[in-house]
Amino acid sequence: MNWYPRYTGDYMRDTAHLRMEEHGAYCVLLDNYYATERPLPSDSEQLYRICRAFTETEKEAVIYIADNYFPVSEDGVRHNKKADEIISTQNKKSSAKKTAGHAGAISKWGESPSKLNRSERLSLARKKGQHSSDEWEAMKIVLDFTCVICGKDCHEDPVKDHIKPIYQGGSDGIDNIQLLCRSCNASKGPDSTDHRPKDWKHKVERLAKRLAKRLANDWKTPGEPEPEPEPEPKTEPKPTLAEGKPPAGVKTQRKPNLLIDALAIVEYGSNIKPTKADYGRIAKALKDIREASADVTPHEIERRAKNYVTHFEGAALTATALAKHWVKCGNRKPETGYPIQKVQVFH
């Protein structure tokens, strides 16, 4: 206990005969008793130390007080009956308060979430609004994985920022969430400026719906990268792409290259035959991609193409455009975009 009631009338009545040193010893011992919520030691040396008693008069005062007000009980230590009662009452009160639980705390504090602990605050914030992981994914894509304050690329370390901080009563809904880099998040303090572009809401809502739909369709998530088979000269093209077929236009006289084929499918689908010139362009795109990601696989091409379509809604997906974006983004980790990334949350 860091607080206890002192009944001045009772104290004066019970201690009227004490000398000044004895009052001092009494107060120090009583404070120690309440602070530790433990009985005092019976050993006099320990009592002297508690009271910082050095002189003989002081030591005498300590022993007098200890014997008269904190007598040694059956358990071998010094008890004060009144202090024991008060400690026990206080403990009962505080444990009753605790068992009222955080729901009680929330209803009690209401609009003062700063008085709640972290999980109570989050629980309160979620009552005000909740966002789905698809909405957060969509938000990151719509904001182009950049910090809305400083524009830093946040692919590696996106921080989910509550625009109105949760400790100030902000909700956990997507309306109150923006993407920040770690340093902007750390330095924003109580600022609650919404830095998102005006049209975020419409875009995020639409994209989140699409993401939810795709994931529900058991959209293939990138797992182990497929090993890139060596092209075998003078043999039939291997049907190893997702569809199980080489692009319709692939003729046996062209040396099969699974990466080129994957890019061709990205641009033309599996039913349209690219021309020789198209293949030349696709090969150039592949060369660029390989400079950014030397270990690119057909699977990775497929995955990036899907991300590209999600990211640049409405833009034509060509091998050249994909390569351009790929080079710009560098060799990012495959977790970017899909599957749902684990993101640290700061409030």
Write out the residues near Zn ion by the rule CB under 5 A: 147, 149-150, 152, 181, 184
Q: How far is the CB of 183 from Zn ion (least distance, A)?
A: 6
User: Which residue's CB is nearer to Zn ion, number 76 or number 190?
Assistant: 190
User: Which residue's CB is nearer to Zn ion, number 191 or number 291?
Assistant: 191
End-to-end CA distance of the chain: 31
CA distance 24 to 229: 88
User: Which residue's CB is nearer to Zn ion, number 35 or number 150?
Assistant: 150
Q: How far is the CB of 153 from Zn ion (least distance, A)?
A: 10
User: Which residue's CB is nearer to Zn ion, number 152 or number 290?
Assistant: 152
User: Which residue's CB is nearer to Zn ion, number 152 or number 203?
Assistant: 152
DSSP state letter for 70: S
Dihedral, 213, 216, 219, 220 alpha carbons, nearest 10: 160
What is the per-residue DSSP string for 97-141? HHHTHHHHHHHHHTT-GGGS-HHHHHHHHHHH----HHHHHHHHH
Q: How far is the CB of 187 from Zn ion (least distance, A)?
A: 9
Locate tokens 């009144």: which residue? Answer: 82
User: Which residue's CB is nearer to Zn ion, number 188 or number 214?
Assistant: 188
Residues 6+ apart with CB under 8 A from 254: 279
Q: How far is the CB of 115 from Zn ion (least distance, A)?
A: 30
User: Which residue's CB is nearer to Zn ion, number 51 or number 147?
Assistant: 147
CA distance 91 to 88: 5
Q: How far is the CB of 151 from Zn ion (least distance, A)?
A: 7
What is the per-residue DSSP string for 252-318? TTSPP-HHHHHHHHHHHTTTS---HHHHHHHHHHHHHHHHH-TT--HHHHHHHHHHHHHHSTTS---
Q: How far is the CB of 182 from Zn ion (least distance, A)?
A: 8
Query: Could you tell me which residues are beta bridge partners of residue 177?
Result: 162
Do 303 and 222 contact (CB within 8 A), yes or no?
Answer: yes
DSSP state letter for 150: T
User: Which residue's CB is nearer to Zn ion, number 40 or number 184?
Assistant: 184
Q: How far is the CB of 161 from Zn ion (least distance, A)?
A: 10
CA distance 175 to 200: 10
CA distance 21 to 57: 8
Read off φ and ψ for residue 159, nearest 5 degrees.
-110, 130
Q: How far is the CB of 159 from Zn ion (least distance, A)?
A: 9
